[in-house]
Amino acid sequence: MHMRAVMLGFGHVGRALARLLLRKAEVLRTDYDLTVTVTGLATHSHGLAINPEGLDLAGALALVERGERLDALHVGSPVTDTLSLIERCPADLVLEATWLNPHTGQPATDYVRAALQAGRHVVTANKGPVAFAYRELQALAAERGLGFFFESTVMDGAPVLSVGREGLLATTIQRIRGILNSTTNFILTRLEEGTPFAEALAEAQAIGVAEADPTTDLEGWDAAVKIVVLANVLMGADLRPADVERTGITGVTVADAQQAIQAGERIKLLCEAVRDGAQVRASVRPVRLPFADPLCQVSRTSSAVTFQTDTLHELTIVEGDTDPTTTAYGMLVDLINIARGRHRLA
Ligand SMILES: NC(=O)c1ccc[n+]([C@@H]2O[C@H](COP(=O)([O-])OP(=O)(O)OC[C@H]3O[C@@H](n4cnc5c(N)ncnc54)[C@H](OP(=O)(O)O)[C@@H]3O)[C@@H](O)[C@H]2O)c1
């Protein structure tokens, strides 16, 4: 099978995915009889490019890494914005890794909708479209026989959503608990080690875990968006991030973290979705967890999720050492799964 893909966003994740597509081209061909050409690329400030014959991905990487624009690779009449590129570029699949707005899910939700309406499968690493419009977008994809996959939106490349979708069949998930935000988990670990909050935050920024403006992480918005994705996709809920009862970690001090340790506990920013009759309630808040809790063992930038179901009492998935390549890997797996028709099972 041959797939023509459009990439929206060519930042950390988009570029890691481009490198992975180049590195795994032979494996895709031999193991899955799959070849992929990228026919379109869209960025916010580095230009846009379409080439129906396939863009030179290595050349695109070199251009952007030198701080230059992608327009030099464009063939045909000019393309001025991302929505027109989605509509005009010949493609079977859109790989979406643009900016996340945790309060609206835009403009990525519009991009995903436009891609599905134009008959393209969609793979996204962006939590926004899933947290704000999962039911609508999934219904649109199903109606058109298209794939809409988003494994990388929670715990990067770790197969959390696909375990839920393909492994936890004929079961009721009663509760999902998770440590889902790297910045806050890193800071909480450093507080336990005696590093003051501001210094721990600066370290998280220095290693590239936290953004220059870390509010979204510290106030629990990023974690809220992720628990909404899990609740809506795996528990049939219809929540939005504003529905999550949310407390961030800015009030936690070294003294709080160390007192917890002395009591055999750790403070963690716990994300929870709990079935309560016909409803699902979701929360994000710092809580003290006993050392015996598997989620308590997850330190620094690692993340974890525990499912409690009526058939498997407790299943925990832990992911360590994440980076943009692990996120890109989740997108690559989604692409392979669409190529082999797994979306028809969804
Ligand atoms: N980083 C991770 O490990 C990770 C993990 C899980 C999920 N994600 C999600 O993956 C997505 C990308 O993350 P990232 O770290 O790669 O971010 P990033 O480095 O900031 O890159 C974002 C890319 O999107 C482009 N972009 C922004 N608005 C656009 C628009 N309207 N049309 C087309 N392109 C646009 C930017 O263009 P310019 O370069 O011109 O600004 C940039 O290329 C986000 O939604 C994020 O939440 C990231």
Residues 151 and 168 in one domain: no
Distance 125 CA to ligand 1 centre (A): 9
Question: Of all helices (H) and strands (E), which one includes residue 68?
Answer: none
Catalytic positions? 226
Residue 316 has pLDDT above 90, yes or no: yes
Residues 12 and 138 in one domain: yes
CATH number at residue 38: 3.40.50.720
Residues 188 and 114 in one domain: no
Residues 210 and 148 in one domain: no
Residue 112 has pLDDT above 80, yes or no: yes
What is the tens place of the pLDDT at every residue in 44-85? Answer: 999 999 999 999 999 999 999 999 999 999 999 999 999 999
Cis peptide before 241 (omega within 30 of 0): no
What is the tens place of the pLDDT at every residue in 213-254? Answer: 899 999 999 999 999 999 999 999 999 999 999 999 999 999
- What are the structure tokens assigned to 132, written together? 């704000």
CATH number at residue 209: 3.30.360.10
Ligand 1 touching residue 324 (CB < 6 A): yes
Residue 208 has pLDDT above 90, yes or no: no
Residues 152 and 224 in one domain: no
For residue 211, the model assigns a pLDDT of 80
Per the structure, the complete domain to which residue 11 belongs is given by: 2-157+325-345
- Residue 293: count of CB within 10 angstroms of its CB: 18
* Total-model pTM: 0.96
Rounded Cα distance, 63 and 71, in Å = 10
Residue 210 has pLDDT above 90, yes or no: no
Distance 4 CA to ligand 1 centre (A): 21
For residue 128, the model assigns a pLDDT of 95
What is the tens place of the pLDDT at every residue in 125-135? Answer: 999 999 999 99
For residue 79, the model assigns a pLDDT of 95
For residue 302, the model assigns a pLDDT of 95
Residues 150 and 239 in one domain: no
For residue 160, the model assigns a pLDDT of 97
Residues 292 and 311 in one domain: yes
Mean pLDDT of 145-167: 95
Q: Which residues of 149-180 are buried (b: 16+ CB within 10 A; e: fewer)?
A: bbbbbbbbbbbbbbbbbeebeeeebbbbbbbb
Residue 196 has pLDDT above 80, yes or no: yes
- What are the structure tokens assigned to 195, written together? 């590093």
CA atoms within 13 A on the CB side of 52: 6
Residue 346 has pLDDT above 80, yes or no: no
Residues in the chain: 346
Q: Decide if 148 contacts 245 (C-beta within 8 A).
A: no
Backbone angles phi, psi at 311, to 5 degrees: -115, -50
Residues 171 and 148 in one domain: no
Residue 37 has pLDDT above 70, yes or no: yes
- Quote the radius of gyration of the chain (alpha carbons, Å): 20
DSSP E strands, the chain = 2-8, 35-42, 48-50, 93-96, 121-124, 148-149, 173-179, 245-246, 265-276, 279-290, 303-309, 315-319
What is the tens place of the pLDDT at every residue in 86-108? Answer: 999 999 999 999 998 989 999 99
What is the tens place of the pLDDT at every residue in 176-191? Answer: 999 999 999 999 999 9
**Which residue's C-alpha comes closest to atom 19 of ligand 1?**
11
Residues 270 and 308 in one domain: yes
Number of domains within the chain: 2
- What are the structure tokens assigned to 323, written together? 């980076």
Ligand 1 touching residue 61 (CB < 6 A): no
